[in-house]
């Protein structure tokens, strides 16, 4: 763990103006508009960045406390931040609500849901581990068998005295130590992907949020036969034109009964469930580095006849465009191939 003494830390970026600090942070988050709340006397800051494919670590020092408002632009990167206070604290807020990181308490926040950020205390020193929101969205999609978009309403404050808090702290500190100063995790993309995935899994399964109640479904809440038959029909004909009356007929019920069954036991509609299955199948093709089909061919293969619409629903589900998935996988495959000796 980093020593709290600023003199022992090496910062690559320093300045004495608010605008220069925001410009440096824009290199991580993309362009966003920001303005100070009130006046900041003796404004001095220093930032160091450590980055790898799935996470960025920001270590920030601020001589005095201050607040600012942020307006995220369309080009900004959506992310989940885990704030680790080393000295002083940090708060994020929306409207009249403020969540804070302080000794004994981490802070979780999604940047697009917060408009006010406060640095607290003199000689403030903060580590902020930034995870791309697409990782969180993929984890949600794999954990819950339902389509999801919008706010997760994640509980922002994590008490480090609890078992959940200690678990999140241990994994977070392992990631921070592994990527700081070009650490060992930056040299192993596979290990980094596994540990950040583990961190995302712990957050989604252990920190309360909008979908947490689905984790506690009792065994007797198994979907009835007509819902299971409907899903089986969808899976068997996923790449063919399917209408909901066809699914209802295969399930042996009316369309209204099919709709009611899916809403009660899958918390979604039959049409949305079919779309999720098709998106999942398309994503598996995109994640296959040996699959050389064009994006439009994959789109048509799984029943999406409008590429723009497919891209929009794919991005809403997984937090990235189909082309970004393909580019990321092809890039990883190229790097691993170039590094192979045999």
pLDDT 10s digits, 237-255: 988 889 999 999 999 999 9
DSSP 222: P
Phi-psi region of 58 (alpha: psi -120 to 50; beta: other; left: phi over 0): beta
Going by the DSSP 8-state scheme, the letter that residue 302 receives in this structure is T
Find how far residue 115's CA is from the centre of its chain. 18
**pLDDT band at 222, cuts 50/70/90?**
low
pLDDT at 260 over 80: yes
Whether 280 shows a pLDDT value over 50: the answer reads yes
Tokens encoding 121: 């205390």
User: Helix, strand or coil for residue 104?
Assistant: coil
Tell me if 103 sits within 8 A of 85, measured CB to CB.
yes
Q: Mean pLDDT: which of 34-43, 80-89, 258-267, 294-303 is highest?
A: 80-89
Instruction: Give the integer Cα–Cα distance in Å for 233 and 245.
Output: 12
- 161-198 pLDDT, tens digit per residue, is 999 999 999 999 999 999 998 899 998 888 998 999 99
Mean pLDDT throughout 147-163?
Answer: 87
Query: Where does residue 171 rank: exposed (0-12), middle (13-18), buried (19+ CB within 10 A)?
Result: buried
Q: What is the pLDDT of residues 136-148, one digit of tens each?
A: 888 887 787 766 7
End-to-end CA distance of the chain: 38
Confidence band for 207, pLDDT divided at 50, 70 and 90? very high
Residue 208 scores a pLDDT above 90 = yes
Helices 307-318 and 322-338 pack at an angle, to 10 degrees, of 70
- Over residues 86-112, the mean pLDDT reads 91
CA 194 to chain CA mean position, Å: 15
In the structure, what pLDDT confidence band is assigned to residue 9 with cuts at 50, 70 and 90? low
Q: Provide φ and ψ at 182, rounded to 5°.
A: 60, 45
């Amino acid at each position: 763990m980093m020593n709290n003494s600023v003199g022992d830390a090496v910062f690559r970026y320093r300045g004495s103006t608010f605008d220069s600090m925001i410009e440096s942070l824009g290199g991580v988050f993309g362009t966003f508009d920001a303005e100070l709340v009130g006046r900041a006397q003796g404004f001095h800051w220093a930032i160091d960045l450590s980055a790898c494919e799935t996470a960025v670590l920001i270590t920030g020092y601020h001589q005095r406390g201050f607040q600012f408002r942020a307006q995220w632009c369309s080009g900004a990167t959506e992310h989940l931040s885990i704030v680790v206070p080393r000295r002083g604290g940090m708060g994020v807020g929306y409207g009249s609500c403020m969540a804070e990181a302080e000794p004994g308490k981490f802070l979780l926040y999604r940047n697009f849901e917060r408009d006010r950020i406060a640095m607290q205390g003199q000689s403030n020193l903060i580590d902020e581990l930034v995870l791309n929101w697409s990782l969180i969205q993929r984890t949600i999609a794999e954990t819950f068998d339902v389509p999801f978009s919008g706010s997760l309403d994640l509980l922002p404050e994590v008490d480090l005295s609890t078992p959940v808090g200690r678990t999140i702290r241990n994994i977070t500190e392992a990631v921070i130590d592994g990527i700081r100063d070009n650490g060992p995790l930056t040299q192993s993309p596979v290990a980094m992907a596994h540990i950040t995935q583990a961190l995302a899994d712990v957050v989604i399964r252990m920190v309360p949020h909008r979908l947490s109640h689905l984790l506690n479904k009792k065994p007797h809440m198994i979907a009835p036969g007509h819902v299971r038959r409907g899903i089986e029909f969808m899976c068997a004909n996923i790449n063919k034109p399917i209408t909901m009356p066809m699914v209802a007929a295969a399930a042996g019920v009316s369309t209204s009964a099919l709709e009611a069954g899916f809403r009660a036991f899958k918390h979604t509609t039959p049409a949305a469930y079919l779309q999720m299955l098709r998106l999942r199948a398309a994503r598996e093709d995109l994640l296959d580095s040996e699959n050389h089909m064009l994006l439009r061919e994959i789109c048509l293969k799984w029943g999406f006849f409008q590429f723009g619409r497919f891209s929009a629903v794919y991005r809403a589900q997984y937090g990235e465009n189909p082309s970004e998935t393909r580019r990321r996988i092809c890039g990883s495959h190229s790097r691993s191939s170039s590094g192979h000796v045999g």
